[in-house]
Structure 1
Amino acid sequence: MSSYEHNASTSRPEQRRRPIETGEAIAVVCLVVGLLVYHAFTIGRQSWFIDEANELVHCRVAWAEIIHVPDSMPPLYSYLLKAWTSTFGVETARWPSALCGIATVVAMWWYARQVVSQRIAVVAAGVLAISPFLLYYSQLVRAYSMFTLLACLTIGQFAITVRQPSKGKWALLGLLWVLGMFTHYYFAFVIVALWIIGLAADARRFVLPLLLTSIAAGVLSLPILISLKSDFAFQHDLREPRPLSLAAAAYTYVSFFSGYTLGPSKPELQTFPVREAAKQVMPWAVAIGGCSLLLGMAGIKRLASQRLASAVVLLAVLPIILAGGLGVATGITYNVRFVVWCIVPIAVLMASGMAESWPRWWGKLATIGLLVISLVAINNRTFVPRYQNEDLRAAAEFIEQEGEQASRVFVVSDYLSCVLDFYMAEPDRIAELPVAGEANQIIDSAADVQLAIDSMDQLTSTGEECWVVYSRAFHGDPEQLLLDRLLDDQQLELAAEFAGVRVYRHAAEQRE
């Protein structure tokens, strides 16, 4: 007998209904209110990230054109964002992701209480609520929070449907699959993982409706082919391909608990020597690995008693292998964000481990350890400049307060200009270096440096004050060749420094 058949046949009606208890409801309401308060106080603290700025530009095009704009994703989120910002304004653009993140916490509780237990459901919802990883994507103007929500709903609905199947439940599962495929191409890995779980269970009674649901969802998802070719080309050509490696896989699992805010920041990883990066992240990796391993083993033991362990572990591991394999086959760089939804099964595994091991001293220690790690990561993201977005909002405000409106603003590189466009009153003043108007530029030779200086000469007049906005070195000037030349020869003066951004003042008459 399969695990699903076993559970369905041994569950009594009153167990399946599981009325919501007062304490359970209060706990979930507190989580939701706490998240709303957290987002209300923090969601606007940081400047737009480059991906957010590009997404906001993307959703400005006409409704009929959105599906044709290269974006590396299907268009559903862009349509939602366009509708939201048209109604509530661009300044609220992060709230759809925040609401999806909150909804994911509620969905986790709702489905886990029916599939696992009420206690583990509340704990799993709590694990997600304080996850620095989910909180990061819940304040990012991209589809990843929505992707995670739909994956959570799909996994939960699948578990409920195969236990107590009905036409309505299969139809709802199919609808979630369609929405997921219109949100992210990698949602296909959710479906593949669920298919493998179903086949491994050898539950012949639901293979036919599962097949029919998949076919119907596949047919309804065919319109995404309109954007697939251009999106694939966009993602493929974005940067030099970096396939999945053991180090990248380890970094993925560390990120699930660190939210990119322990050890080197994401930009620093682009420039730090491997040895230095490993040295900085190792203490956190050991702490995360120790706590999560203890809780994970206890969680497997707890879930095994309900014949759910293999399914949860597979959902936490298989998508990373699939995403890495696809990257090797297609030349698309592997990225943690492609498997962002794996935080859902990991939360279930950690919550099950906490419930199983809490009576033991090491269970308490591991649980408290992960809690402390999460709080430190959240604090770093919120208050430590090293881990924050480049503060181009503050840079723009400084330039407009200190400089003449006619002064030119040079940006190194085009990576930052899109964001500055949102904050400068006159975005026409902005010019990328080394060549204005060209994308994905990298200054890696003396010729590129001279090209940038020539561009500055051509776009400014003698005696005209101008500004140079410079970010972390890897953004277009990885060896700081241009910056060193400007500092040595052009008498550049550091005027202000913000999170990830330096603003330099320069007078054209000083150049020869």
Structure 2
Amino acid sequence: MLYFGNGGNVMQRLQTVRLRGARVVYGDHFPLIAPCLIAAIAFALRVHRLDGQSLWFDEGFALHLASQSLPQMIEQNPVGWLPLHSIALSLWLRVVGDSPFAARFFSVVFGVLVVALLYLLARTLASSRTGAMASLVGALSPFLVYYSQEARTYALWLFLSLLSAYLLLRALGHPERIRGWIAYTGATSLALYTHYFSIFLLPWGAAALLYTAVRSRRWKTLLSGVACQVVVFVVSVPLVGFARSSMLDRYGFWRSPLSGFQVVLDLWYHLTTGGNLPFDRALPVMGTLAVVGILGLVLFRPLWNGVLMALYFLVPTFGMLVLSSWRELYVARYLAIAAPAAYVLVAHGLDRLWAATTAYRGLLGKSALAVALCSIGVAGYSWCQALQNYYYNPDYARDDFRSAARFIEVGEGEKDVMVMSGGGIFTALLPYYEGHLPWIDMPSFGEWLDEDQVVEGLNALLAGRSGGRVWLVLSGNQITDPQNLIVAHLWTYGHVVEAKNFPGRTGVRVLVFSARHDADTLTLTPFKYEHLRANFDNKVELLGFEIDGSQFAPGDDIHLALQWEAVTHLEQDYHAFAHLLNDRNVVVAGHDKVPLNDYFRPRAWPVGEPLRDEYVLSLPENLSSGTYELEVGLYSYPDLQRLLVVGASQRERDRVLLPPIIVDG
């Protein structure tokens, strides 16, 4: 057990627990069979059905990058990605082959090594028994199993970040060994080249260095650690270019902003279930493991070792909250670095409960045993359910591009074409697609999609293919095509003859479009808007609108498109409304929402760029015949204060009236 004492860091080979005068002694020489058995369990869970699910977009793009040359990897590296995983995966695939199974097996290797490192870390901070429990928790964790089966950077990142932490503790235990500091520096540098949030290893390491120096008065140890961190900073200077591109990226990943409490709650939900249980059914295991983890922290001796693990969890979490106050960055996997600390604290809590069952006699010992067994039972049952969902429930699986590819192969015609909308999803679909359709992927990864690009790209693809259909594959298009330009154009100039949804966490949808009955082929032209120029509080202008008719029957849907333009950078995410009003000014049909969609909210809008925004107003079946006003506008949320229209009359001071709608039943 690593102990930060007055005389320096001493590796104690015996831990003594005193509970009401009782003395329980156990050695650190835990049988080797336990860690080996746990590693075997970890391997079995991680290799089980390894190719049972399709590659999803991130994995497909990871394989695509790994197939490129080094300059191409750097050039095509997506926003938020760093190059080490691509380089390492490329070398791996050259040796073992480039199949999806081989790519995922690369993550399996590091996933099992993470479990081994959990044992070493917990043994260093507490005892061999805590180490065995921590590695068992890690082996069974649905969160770690998921990312150990994904051909992405997270298993490698977890391994390198955990290795960095372990090597720092080893270096603090033996500060005179130069090779220990060199190893720590190397592991931390490699972790930084794997994921940006490895930067949180540095403040955590600084806390450990400072505490050790103050308690032991060995200032050379502090200087050695600071020198290592300076070297890490210097080595990481080339990452500035990657970081800059990520900072300029204007997309967020959440449908709505999350509070700090929601971030912590969602993180704990994923760490304890892998996101593989409905939230209400996850609450028992979330609460149980939180209580056991807190117990493990409080009962750590020396307490600083527990604080060190708490900081390993809190530093990246707090860092994410700070960064998210600037722009929305939170995704649970970005805080995977915090998972080992949570599992070590939970393991130590279980260890203390188990120790109490032998240290105490009578009611207290039986109570400790009951709590320990209850905790193990709740976690075991919940994790079995979570793993079962992950392995076998398609709703919890990765997006099923494999089935989508087979669906297209079976139904494609000689003159058909394929359009993929998701910003690079061809990398996930084409590994499974064995058909012969010409295809286009729009937009290219990281590019902005405009209407001219859509019209020109689709018309060029369809040229000379009279009677051909368009197979449109959608996945993640809410982010890459927030104006819905591709679907809107195909829907306007064609009609859907077939549609199929494929399950998954994001989902894949295939729509088949053919030309309308009065045309031989799909020919697209730019949308024609009715022009107006309404200025909302010198913040946003409404440039024009498009309605798919002026006369409707009860039960019909009115399709409305508005064209917004930000006049200045917007400080908040305004909401928009489109309301149909009767002669008593009562809303009979309406649509309120964040303009465009929740992934491209007004705060992300580029200044001076026209943006298409679509609404559907569903008319009630019993709506009376007559003429109805159609009003549109913007309001702040949640105070619901409408933005005023500059220079408008009193009747239209906080709205714009579009041409009236006639309902004829």
Task: For residue 90 of structure 1, give the secondary structure of its aligned residue in structure 2.
Answer: coil
Count of residue pairs the alignment pairs up? 480
Say whether residues 1:67 and 2:74 are aligned partners: yes
- Name the residue aligned to 1:374: 383
Q: 2: CA distance between counterparts of 1:62 and 1:311?
A: 41
TM-fit CA distance, 1:461: 3.2
**Residues 141-152 of structure 1: pairs in structure 2 closer than 5 A:** 141-152=151-162
Return closer, same or farther for 1:488/1:229 CA change in 2, 3 Å cut-off: closer
2:335 to 330, 339, 348: 339
Say whether residues 1:84 and 2:92 are aligned partners: yes
- Name the residue aligned to 1:277: none
**Residues 78-117 of structure 1: pairs in structure 2 closer than 5 A:** 78-91=86-99, 92-117=102-127
Task: For residue 423 of structure 1, give the secondary structure of its aligned residue in structure 2.
Answer: coil
1:462 to 440, 463, 466: 466
- Name the residue aligned to 1:257: 272
- Name the residue aligned to 1:180: 191
Say whether residues 1:419 and 2:428 are aligned partners: yes
Say whether residues 1:211 and 2:226 are aligned partners: yes
Q: 2: CA distance between counterparts of 1:430 and 1:373?
A: 44
Say whether residues 1:352 and 2:348 are aligned partners: yes
Query: Per-residue displacement from partner, 1:225-266 (whole Å, max 9, x unpaired)?
Result: 454434544xx3343785763212211111111212222xxx
- Name the residue aligned to 1:199: 210
Return closer, same or farther for 1:88/1:453 CA change in 2, 3 Å cut-off: closer
Task: For residue 277 of structure 2, give the secondary structure of its aligned residue in structure 1.
Answer: coil
Contact 1:53 1:419 in 2 (8 A): yes
Q: 2: CA distance between counterparts of 1:453 and 1:173?
A: 51
- Name the residue aligned to 1:169: 180
Task: For residue 61 of structure 1, give the secondary structure of its aligned residue in structure 2.
Answer: coil
TM-score norm. by structure 2 comes to 0.64
2:57 to 50, 53, 56: 50
- Name the residue aligned to 2:141: 131
TM-score norm. by structure 1 comes to 0.82
Q: 2: CA distance between counterparts of 1:190 and 1:118?
A: 24
Q: 2: CA distance between counterparts of 1:489 and 1:126?
A: 56
2:260 to 216, 239, 245: 245
Unaligned runs of 5+ in 2: 16-26, 358-367, 520-665
- Name the residue aligned to 2:319: 322
Query: Per-residue displacement from partner, 1:373-415 (whole Å, max 9, x unpaired)?
Result: 2222221111111111221112112322332355212334446
Q: 2: CA distance between counterparts of 1:225 and 1:454?
A: 37
Contact 2:141 2:274 in 1 (8 A): yes
1:386 to 395, 398, 416: 395
Looking at secondary structure, tell me which structure has more strand per residue: 2
- Report which structure shows greater RCO (CA 8 Å, sep ≥6): 1
- Amino acid of the structure 2 residue aligned with 1:302: L
Q: Which moved more, 1:127-136 or 1:206-215?
A: 206-215
Q: 2: CA distance between counterparts of 1:161 and 1:249?
A: 32
What percentage of aligned pairs have identical amino acids?
20
- Name the residue aligned to 2:239: 224
Q: Which moved more, 1:497-506 or 1:372-381?
A: 497-506
Q: 2: CA distance between counterparts of 1:334 and 1:497?
A: 26
* RMSD, aligned CA: 3.6
Return closer, same or farther for 1:487/1:182 CA change in 2, 3 Å cut-off: same
- Name the residue aligned to 2:22: none
Larger radius of gyration: 2
Contact 1:182 1:221 in 2 (8 A): yes
Q: 1: CA distance between counterparts of 2:472 and 2:342?
A: 44
Task: For residue 472 of structure 2, give the secondary structure of its aligned residue in structure 1.
Answer: strand
Q: Which moved more, 1:5-14 or 1:132-141?
A: 5-14
TM-fit CA distance, 1:507: 4.3
Query: Per-residue displacement from partner, 1:420-449 (whole Å, max 9, x unpaired)?
Result: 2332236762335xx676867789xxx99x
- Amino acid of the structure 1 residue aligned with 2:64: V
Say whether residues 1:310 and 2:307 are aligned partners: yes
- Amino acid of the structure 2 residue aligned with 1:464: G
Contact 1:420 1:427 in 2 (8 A): no
TM-fit CA distance, 1:505: 4.3
Return closer, same or farther for 1:307/1:483 CA change in 2, 3 Å cut-off: same
Q: 2: CA distance between counterparts of 1:452 and 1:41?
A: 46
Return closer, same or farther for 1:103/1:406 CA change in 2, 3 Å cut-off: farther
